[in-house]
Amino acid sequence: MKWACVVFLMACPLVTLGQEKEPVRLKEVKVFENRLFDKETAGLKQTRVDSIVLKENLNHTLSELLSENTPIFIKAYGRGSMATASFRGTAPSHTQVLWNGMSINSPMLGMVDFSLLPVYFIDQVELKHGGASVEDISGALGGSISMNNKPDWHNTFSGKMVVGAGSFGTHEAFGQVNAGNGQFQSKTRLYHTYSRNDFPFINDAVIGKPRQRNENADYRMYSVMQEFYGRLSSKDILSVKAWFHSADRSIPKLNSDESDEHANINLQRDETWRINTSWDHNYRGGTISLDAGVNMQRLDYTLQNYIRIGFIPAIYSESQATSYINKLQVVHDLSPSATFKLAVNINHHRVNTADSVAKTGYGERRNEMLWFAGIYKNVNDRLNLRAVLRQDYADNELVPAIPSAGFDLKLSGNRELYLKGNIIRNYRIPTLNDLYWQPGGNPDLRPEQGVTGEMSLAWKKRGEKLWIASQLTGFHSNIRDWIIWIPSFKGFWEPRNVKKVIARGIELSAKVKSGIGPVRLSLNVNYAFTRSLNYGETNTWGDESYGKQLVYIPVHSGNVFANLHYKGYTFTVQHNSFSRRFTTSSNDLTARDDLPNYYMNHVYLSKVLKWKKFTFEPQLKVYNLFNEYYRSVLDRRMPSRNYMILLMARF
């Protein structure tokens, strides 16, 4: 009943805003319209994060942006700690992340830590739900997330700086300088943040429920990005982008650990180097694109246990992963109503890991050749069709073909009402850790494979008084040979193909933009109902887990972003809700082994001040406004109400 009320309240503003008097023209209207009935996206669901949402979340990480403004569930291990994604009820490795078209998923783990991706360094975020991801990459059984950087060819010299301070000893600074002309553009971005992260909490996981602090949880991050864009001619654009990020994080002990505060030293260091180059050539009938990039990741993990004689090393693990990504793509117009696309990727991955304490590790290579072909047809002004085929070759084996087909049907000749449908067969090969990790890697693992179907009803209305866009999507995925790591009789964990998963659900999204005189309003609403059920072997898992919801995946989730602007003042309310999440495969409802539902609320207030050619914008942000007591992961406490003060300067 509570969730029915939440959905009703989220929908109420769509009705009340219909009485606004004056029009407001916004760029987002055009972007959404082009995506709604475009033959290249027939049957696909794609969501672009609103530019206003990006601006208000500028000082956040991508994990916070996605968790609070999209249907994706983010599993966060704590403030500043690792954060992974569950897209449509799937595993973190089933979400592919692309930076300017280049995959940045780790070839070791197959996933991305979203807490290491600051929004400062992103100009555009786009989600491709379910089968839509096959347009870019295979293996994204849940979907894909694209981060893009864009030039402003009208810019001559501009920039911005952000400095901030907040609760728990948090400090951060960001700077960006843009320079160029109509032929050349340069963007330079720098970022640093530090936090003691020592928030207080009541530890109900131990006897007596003492009040404690989140000790040994500090983190520090640095990041720099350089972008160059050049117009070599009227038909050719060349770009080079380089991104370095470094993070040092202490990992606090579990709340259930009652040992001495000096029980261990737990440290993690992450370093990434990403370089992406692209050349785009436009000719009369289409476009040729050539992309080449490298993604280098290093992860060092140290664990030292304390005994009477001092700290004794237990783990000192060093891991390096390097991926070389190369792509050639041709998009050619066969006629004014038909387009053909052909793409080929040639990739090489190299991984080396070593634990100098346990004397274990491995070094492996992987070569890939990925082919893609698609044809897109605008049959008439009411019907679009799309048919694509992807064929991968990896580890000297031909992966079964990945076909997909979709359609858009305009249901009314004079209204923007569309029916969209799509079906896809998808595959994901095991990661290098799945196959070769020591101890536990399983070289006999089979690829995960799934079939996904979805249907959407999309509607848009743009008049003189109000703009509204909404979409309702139902999806059903059958994933076989699901890979999961489980304890073995040998005393360590190992991956097995032991599970079949049925993931099905509903996604509802709505956007509203309007204004009255100097007042402008932007409203974004998302709701997701996700049932992701285990149908593995009963003789392996037992009846208690068969047919139960997968761990850490909420059945209900929703969020609301409301932004009100008046004469330079901006007031933003951010709400997101998550239903109960289970931490055991049997969905045990004990007080210890489940995470209750929670409702999170943030408010932001800012004022724009102008002086000569400079614009200043002080901001106050209050997180967890109602002091919600919650956890995202078992035994990892999250902070109570906290604050952030920022000053942004632009020129």
Quick one: pLDDT at residue 590? 64
Quick one: pLDDT at residue 588? 76
Pairing of strands 83-86, 402-410: unpaired
Ordered by start, the domain boundaries in the chain are: 2-650
Quick one: pLDDT at residue 587? 81
Q: Which of 126, 128, 129, 131 is nearest to 147 (CA)?
A: 126
**Does residue 628 contact residue 621 with C-beta atoms inside 8 Å?**
no
Q: What 8-state DSSP symbol labels residue 17?
A: G
Q: Which of 242, 247, 293, 308 is nearest to 82 (CA)?
A: 247
Quick one: pLDDT at residue 1? 42
Tens digit of pLDDT for each residue in 109-163?
A: 999 999 999 999 999 999 999 999 999 999 999 999 999 999 999 999 999 999 9
Please tell me the CATH code under which domain 2-650 is placed: 2.40.170.20
Distance from C-alpha of 35 to C-alpha of 50, rounded to nearest angstrom: 14
**Does residue 562 contact residue 552 with C-beta atoms inside 8 Å?**
no
Q: What is the pTM of this model?
A: 0.92
> What's the token pair of residue 129?
């739900």
| Mean pLDDT of each 10-residue bin along the chain, 651 residues long | 41 37 38 67 94 96 96 93 95 96 96 97 97 94 96 96 97 98 97 96 83 91 98 96 97 78 82 98 96 97 86 92 98 96 98 94 96 97 96 92 96 90 95 94 94 95 87 96 86 87 96 91 97 78 75 95 96 96 80 80 97 95 94 88 97 95
Helix (H) or strand (E) holding 14: helix 2-16
CB atoms within 10 A of CB 4: 9
Give CA separation, 635 vs 204, 216, 259, 423, in Å: 10, 15, 14, 40
Backbone φ/ψ region at 154: left (φ over 0), alpha (ψ -120 to 50), beta: alpha
Quick one: pLDDT at residue 456? 96
> What's the token pair of residue 206?
């131990």
Quick one: pLDDT at residue 72? 96
CB atoms within 10 A of CB 621: 22
Distance from C-alpha of 81 to C-alpha of 435, rounded to nearest angstrom: 26
Quick one: pLDDT at residue 545? 80
Backbone φ/ψ region at 481: left (φ over 0), alpha (ψ -120 to 50), beta: left
For 545-597, the DSSP string reads TTTPBPTT--SEEEEEEEEEEETTEEEEEEEEEE--EESSTT----SSSEE--
> What's the token pair of residue 523?
């409203």
Q: What are phi and psi of 120, to 5 degrees?
A: -50, -30
Q: Which of 226, 191, 158 is nearest to 59 (CA)?
A: 191
Identify whether 439 is preceded by a cis peptide bond (ω within 30 of 0): yes
